[in-house]
Amino acid sequence: MKKRTAWILVAGVAAIALGAAAVGAVALLLRSQGGGSASFSSNSYLAVDLGGEIPDEPPSEMSLFERRPTSLRTLVESIDLAAKDPKVTSLLVRVSNMSGAGWAKTQELREALLRFRKSGKPAFAHLEYVGNKEYYVATACTKIFALPTAIVHVTGIEAEVMFFRKTLDKLGVQAQFEGVGKYKNAPNTFTESSFTEPHREQMEALLDSLNAQFVQGLETSRGLSEAQVTQVVDDGPYDANGARKAGLLDDLLYRDQVDQRLQGATRIGPARYVKASRGFGFDSRPKIALVYAVGDIMTGESQSGFGGTIAGSDTIAGALREAREDDEVKAIILRVDSPGGFGPAADAIRREVQLAQKVKPVVVSMGDYAASGGYYVTIGSDTIVAQPGTITGSIGVFSGKFSLRGLYDKIGVTKEILTRGRNAALFSEYQPWSDEERAKIREQNVAFYEDFVRKVADGRKKTYEEVDAVAQGRVWTGAEALKLGLVDRLGGLDIALEVARERAKITAGDVNIVVMPPKKSFFETLWERQQEDELESVLPREVSAFMHWTRALAGDGPIARLPFDLRFR
């Protein structure tokens, strides 16, 4: 696109944006006069659609034309608001494939639905095609309905780990990694063709913990014994009639029939409902800052780009610094949903957590993942809150590279390398490490690991030996981490907020949760997107993730991260 054309487009969009903003401002003013949910009828129901991606973090930029998935926070906040709102008489959850949610997000949604039920109002779930996670969420509702042709794929918890060793061997690529910790199995996906014994031991333990949580949820919500749940799971999957006979469903209904059960109530969507409830104008409530660390931890700015989401140390550290220096902010919640990443970047964030904690309370809320570098950033906080299904721990480190010499030989590529300095070509992809070079890498990793363990020990008020015994790169669920003293409480963002209020001595009234840093403006977003590479939208998940790992390894430093592609479903 020529520059002149681009500027004409920007000018045209700007005019539209200004007009929309003016109309929006008038609408907001009119809405604020009524306050809260005054624009909704006295017989309304909250309609929550759970499916696809459920991002932990709200969009970081404004958009007029692109529809974004509703964030986890908005979904949970809308459910909690509806529980207290006399105008909302019921709740309907339509559940489909929640491919973008892990077990911790699933549990956070389920807990919100259970809190809604305590209000005495009915909560209905309507299913079309669901798996274990989706059905687990639905069991929090008063009644579970499904289409007469629905598929209920309740078959038990499964974990998959992909290994590329044989593929790399065929290509002539040698994966070279040095790690510290018996269970630091992240490089295994490249260096092995199957589980090692420590890797298998760790994965089996994770499955056991998650499965126990899943079974307990079905027991309490559906009134089944442990033996009955085991039998139901072993007999799955089910068609709709089979699921009803097994006691998994209460009725088979089409959408219009479900609507009849709602007795003419008016539908409210979560995003619109939350915005209306927040009102408009000056907010005098005490402020609590909410800072998100979502994605792979890297240096630079946070972004959603090639291969996945980046939790940029510059962005997150800057937000923590801003919250620390703002006298109106009474406490900080750091929401972490990250499998880790570049060690020094995680340390930069940890340092800001430590500095902020000296000034005001800092509470960590863990999402699906807060492991390795994702755990590192939590060190120094006052309290760590995790879901039972959060994947955390993984206190360990590794470094590595791919030696492409064999591949180059296959395709006729040669290189000449000139150096000044014994280890100048340490991370060259053309030649593998010598024994001396490998020893140098291991020395660096051992130093980083020992420093990691010491910092955890200081932050958790434990001895080095106590932390080292549960570290070694071992991954734990939140439920296990609580017993080991790696986290302080179980729960979601609501519990983290409760703890932050207590520590900040906010005893009465509501609080104003302020996300930091603030959203980018529409024009900043428009300018950035002119330069974005759209290739990521057409790449398979595995390829995008592989390329993202290549980017991470380009830093030539210690990596504190979970295994390459860890999926539970």
- Could you tell me the pTM of the whole model? 0.85
- In this predicted structure, what is the pLDDT of residue 497? 96
Q: Compute φ and ψ for 398, nearest 5 degrees.
A: -150, 160
Which residues neighbour 394 within 8 Å (Cβ) at sequence distance 6 or greater? 183, 184, 340, 371, 372, 375, 473, 474, 475, 560, 561, 562
CA distance 445 to 439: 10
Tell which residue, 401, 374, 340, has the closest CA to residue 174.
Answer: 401
The encoded tokens of residue 286 equal 């005490």
Q: Please tell me the predicted confidence (pLDDT) of residue 159.
A: 86
Residue whose token pair is 């001595």: 505
Q: Is the peptide bond before 58 cis (omega within 30 degrees of 0)?
A: no
With cut-offs at 50, 70 and 90, classify the pLDDT of residue 28: very low
**pLDDT digits 0-9 by tens, 253-273:** 999 999 998 988 999 999 999
Q: Where are the domains of the chain?
A: 38-159+198-276, 284-397+438-537+555-568
* pLDDT over 90 percentage in the chain: 68
What does the pLDDT look like over 46-62, one tens digit per residue? 999 998 889 988 766 55
HSE-CB at 45 with a 13 A cutoff on CA atoms is 23
pLDDT range class, residue 558, cuts 50, 70, 90: confident
For CA atoms 217, 222, 223, 225, give the dihedral sign: negative
Dmax over CA atoms of the chain, in Å, equals 80
Q: Which helix (H) or strand (E) holds 20?
A: helix 3-34
pLDDT band at residue 561 under the 50/70/90 scheme: confident
Q: How many CB atoms neighbour CB 130 within 10 A?
A: 28
Please state the separation of Cα 220 from the chain's center in Å.
26
The one-letter code for the residue type at 119 is S
| Contact predicate 97/150, CB 8 Å | no
Q: Are 92 and 262 in contact (CB under 8 A)?
A: yes
Q: What are the DSSP calls for 454-476, one per residue?
A: HHHHHHHT--HHHHHHH-TT-EE
Q: How far apart, in Å, do the first and last CA atoms of the chain sit? A: 44
Distance separating alpha carbons of residues 142 and 223, to the nearest angstrom? 12
Provide CATH code, domain 284-397+438-537+555-568. Answer: 3.90.226.10
Are 395 and 371 in contact, with CB atoms under 8 Å apart? no
Q: Where are the alpha helices (DSSP H) in 131-237?
A: 132-138, 165-171, 188-191, 197-222, 226-235
Candidates 251, 227, 254, 228; CA nearest to 241 is 251
Q: Do domains 38-159+198-276 and 284-397+438-537+555-568 have the same CATH topology?
A: yes
- SS3 of residue 45 by DSSP: strand
Q: What is the mean pLDDT of the chain?
A: 85
The answer to whether 84 touches 280, Cβ cutoff 8 Å, is no
- Answer yes or no: is pLDDT of 526 > 60: no
Structure tokens at 178: 């040095």
pLDDT reading at 24 higher than 50 = no
Report, as an integer, the average pLDDT of 450-458.
97
Q: How far apart, in whole angstroms, are the C-alpha atoms of residue 100 and residue 314? A: 26
What would the two tokens of residue 305 be?
């780009």
**Domain at 38-159+198-276: CATH code:** 3.90.226.10
Per mean pLDDT, which range of 194-198, 360-364, 375-379, 484-488 is the poorest?
Answer: 194-198
pLDDT of res. 215: 96
- Mean pLDDT for the stretch of residues 490-504: 96
- pLDDT of 386: 98
DSSP states along 117-160: HTTT--EEEEEEEE-HHHHHHHTTSSEEEEEEEEEE------EE
Name the least confident of 334-343, 388-397, 468-477, 527-536. Answer: 527-536
Lowest mean pLDDT: which of 199-213, 272-286, 485-499?
272-286
Provide the pLDDT for residue 307.
56
Q: What is the pLDDT of residue 559?
A: 76
Is residue 351 over pLDDT 50?
yes
pLDDT over 60 at 30, yes or no: no
Integer Cα distance of 26 and 179 in angstroms: 59
